[in-house]
Amino acid sequence: MPNAALFLDRDGVINVRKHNGYITSPDEITFLPGAANAISRLNKYFSKTLVITNQQGIGKGLMTESDLEKIHQKMIAEIESEGGHIDKIYHASQLESENSIMRKPRPGMIHRAMDDFPKISLRESWLVGDTTADLELAQTMGISSVFVHSPAEADSGWEEFKPALVVGSLGEFADILVGMADG
């Protein structure tokens, strides 16, 4: 898929989500089992692998842009240690109450990615997320969605967004995609 991008949410897809809180330093990030390896395997099928993440902890003053950069450096190092890569990370630091175009489910981060990588075909792309905001963004932008289902999201109303796939992990999505490509 030469013009396809893989859009990945961060918390709950790549790393363990910190419920009722924010990951504010690199030592707080814990990778989900197999996530870094899955990204390495998925890189082969997408022209760009991009992370899109809401990070209102910055807007709340709980961390700085520099803190977030250090967290992302650790994340990238872990992914690279498994032979994978991330082409770019986009984040929205605004508060939810600001109703910013940048915060998911609004499309600002996707628009920025399209500005940076104009050859991306959204129709060929996939977005992997674990919240209804991720699924709503994918639906709005015409991107195929993958819902990483967790018990915390069981009653969130995700079904109404009709994701193309429902998986238990990023690794499971990689297994499915490899099977589809080989089949």
Among 11, 67, 130, 134, the one annotated catalytic: 11
48: three-class secondary structure by DSSP: strand
Q: Is 11 a catalytic residue?
A: yes
Q: How far apart are the first and last CA of the chain?
A: 15
Instruction: Please give the Cα distance from 60 to 98 (Å, whole number).
Output: 12
Complete DSSP assignment for 90-146: EEE-S-GGGT-TTSTTSSHHHHHHHHH-TT--GGG-EEEESSHHHHHHHHHHT-EEE
Among 9, 67, 130, 134, the one annotated catalytic: 9
DSSP 10: S
Q: Is 87 a catalytic residue?
A: no
Instruction: Please give the Cα distance from 17 to 157 (Å, whole number).
Output: 19
Q: Catalogue the active-site residues.
A: 9, 11
